Structure 1
Amino acid sequence: MRAWGNSQRHRTIAAIGLGVLLLTGCSATEPPKAKPWASAGPVWHSTYEAPAPTVIAPLTGETVQSDALDHPSIAAKIDNHPLARAQFGLNETDIVFEELVEGGMTRYVGVWHSTVPEILGPVRSIRPMDPDIISPLGGIVAYSGGQPGFVNMMQSAPVYNAIHGQADTATTFFRSPAKRAPHNVHVKAREVVAQHDDLKAPQQHFAFSLDIPSSTAAKDGTPTARVNLTFGSLGTPSWAWDAATGAWGRFMTGGATDTDNTGAQLTATNLVVLRVPVTVSADIPKTELIGSGEAWVSTGGATVHATWRKDSQTDTIKLVDDNGVTVRLAPGNSWVELVPTAGAVEFVAPAS
């Protein structure tokens, strides 16, 4: 009985083992099959792309792609005679310098780099202070000519002189039939810049904050609703703060809204007012910009008192507040108002 019992037990164990093998579908030595979910479903790939490297635009303080401004700036002597208005391209400038000229009027040095308009102008003749304004920019200067001594001064500066009536500007400067000479010389700005793309981009001109609220004037300045300027008898522009747009809006002598050729009001993120001595030779005023003096910076509806300094023709203008701390402008465009010491500056507080 024990022999039968052992044999029967062995047969039973063998039968159970065979059942297990049949249930698992593999032998003891067969490798396990791959699990069906291991290769099932979609294959996911990342769509992340590293953002393009950025830099700070040297004339506006705005953040841009590093290769977006890999070209020279173009400065131009812009006419501000009533017969020259409305001008082309002034609302696309990075910086505008306003200066006193003959007859108590003003003219502009407009500077374009972040945006270069298709057409700018009308351009007029160069003046003796312009080499000091334009030299720190390098790049290109466009103008209609001028007295030989002034032209020689400009041509001695480290910039490319693009002058109306010369062979190299025959296809890029033109007279508009819409205006009367001499207030009708315009420039195909993009074509001029493309012809000289081997020139370097400008150096940084001012210190900048991250935004308007963190700018020096907005943080530490006195609330300001309006800025009234007197250059001369026919040069009395003003600026009014517009909180809705976050910019200063410009008004001409007499109070009319100052506009560009599109009909849009001229605006500025920053107003930089410098009190400057002016010398006169043969009835030609010259703003003396090598030196230092009193300044104000207006941003974000407020104004801070400052001191300006420029040590040489190729140096940029430096601004420090009354504590000796560098003034930081907000990112955006700036108008630099070169008001004679014999002129006047008035800052009007908001109505209470």
Structure 2
Amino acid sequence: MLVAKIDNSPQARPPVGLGAADVVYVEPVEGGSSRLAAVFSTHKPAVIGPIRSARETDLTLLDQFGNPTFASSGAAPELVASVDSASLQNASADRQSAAYYRDYSRAAPHNLFVRSDQLPVGGGWPAASQLHFGPMPAGGRPTQHEEARYQGAAIGFDWSPSNHRWLVSMDRAAYTTADTGQLTASTVLLQSVQVRDSTVRDIAGNVSPVARTTGSGRALVLRDGQAFPAVWSRLSPQAGTTYTTATGTAISFAPGQVWTVLIPEQLW
């Protein structure tokens, strides 16, 4: 398994390789922006990027995947030791420099890419965090559009009956990759999370937030053109997240790429 941190700033678009991910996490980062953690297990594209740096949120979030290879541009000095000691293989550009290259047709720092076949092979997907695919439960409401908002970003999902998928948009524009075109999701998990400040600041002085992905909270599950108010629960860092309706019925996922958007509870 490979997890890659992908730049999601407007200057970094279009991404490469993201359409092959099994799961895409959208994380809040400093300045009200977003960054992606893409999980590749079924298929690893030859090139992925643009690659950016790890965040403290990743350490607990990715613990559920056992011992994946973790591709990033690096981490803030305060965070490097924690990444090295986490239950993942730190395959950052600092550790595996030969696997990374710059595409000089794009502006730095939004031009770092990784060749996946030059990274160490990560562990398999643990049973405790496997995705559960299955039929749609009862009780959903039809919806054509849902949007999650950060202070400086908007992540939208529009239902396409012809594709039987949610079309992904960023900042209200279609989100397309350079290699496979329009990004689509079979299932979308909008997940309210507690967020605290870390000790890390970016060069502009903005505090890097940390999203809490264990515990429980509110969620909205989108699949098959319907929305299901839900409760999410993750009992430990090694466990996957479950989603249930108000009556306690487990909500399974539709086959295909799954997107999870971590939304600070104050913005829910």
TM-score by length of 2: 0.92
Aligned equivalent of 2:188: 271
Q: Which has the higher relative contact order, 1 or 2, with Cα contacts under 8 A spaced 6 or more apart?
A: 2
Aligned equivalent of 2:84: 155
Q: Map 1:287-298 to 2 at 5 A.
A: 287-298=211-222
Q: Which is higher, the Rg of structure 1 or of structure 2?
A: 1
Matched, 1:165 2:90: no
> Structure 1 pair 202/189, CA: closer, same or farther in 2 (3 Å)?
farther
Structure 2 gap segments, 5+ residues each: 200-206
Letter in 1 for 2:51: V
Matched, 1:208 2:136: no
User: What is the Cα deviation at residue 259 of structure 1?
Assistant: 0.8
Matched, 1:180 2:107: yes
Aligned equivalent of 2:241: 317
Quote the RMSD (CA, aligned, Å). Answer: 1.5
1:15-63: CA deviation from partner (whole Å, max 9, x where unpaired): xxxxxxxxxxxxxxxxxxxxxxxxxxxxxxxxxxxxxxxxxxxxxxxxx
User: What is the Cα deviation at residue 160 of structure 1?
Assistant: 0.7
Aligned equivalent of 1:251: 169
Q: Is the 8 A contact 1:208 1:215 kept in 2?
A: no
Q: Identity of paired residues, percent?
A: 29
Determine the C-alpha separation between the residues in 1 that align with 2:195 and 2:20: 29
User: What is the Cα deviation at residue 205 of structure 1?
Assistant: 2.9
- List 4+ stretches of structure 1 deviating above 6 A: none
Q: Is the 8 A contact 1:177 1:184 kept in 2?
A: yes
**Secondary structure in 1 aligned to 2:259?**
strand
**Secondary structure in 2 aligned to 1:149?**
coil
User: What is the Cα deviation at residue 263 of structure 1?
Assistant: 6.3
Letter in 2 for 1:165: D
Q: Is the 8 A contact 2:216 2:231 kept in 1?
A: yes
Aligned equivalent of 2:160: 242
Q: Map 1:215-234 to 2 at 5 A.
A: 215-216=136-137, 219-232=138-151, 234=152
TM-score by length of 1: 0.71
**Secondary structure in 1 aligned to 2:118?**
helix
**Secondary structure in 2 aligned to 1:328?**
coil
> Structure 1 pair 281/158, CA: closer, same or farther in 2 (3 Å)?
closer
Aligned equivalent of 1:306: 230
Aligned equivalent of 1:4: none
Aligned equivalent of 2:44: 116
Aligned equivalent of 1:260: 177
Report the structure, 1 or 2, having the larger strand content: 2
Q: Map 1:35-54 to 2 at 5 A.
A: none
Report the structure, 1 or 2, having the larger helix content: 1
Q: Is the 8 A contact 1:292 1:308 kept in 2?
A: yes
User: What is the Cα deviation at residue 115 of structure 1?
Assistant: 1.2
Letter in 1 for 2:109: P
Segment of structure 1 superposing worse, 153-162 or 238-247: 153-162
Aligned equivalent of 1:286: 210
Structure 1 gap segments, 5+ residues each: 1-72, 345-352
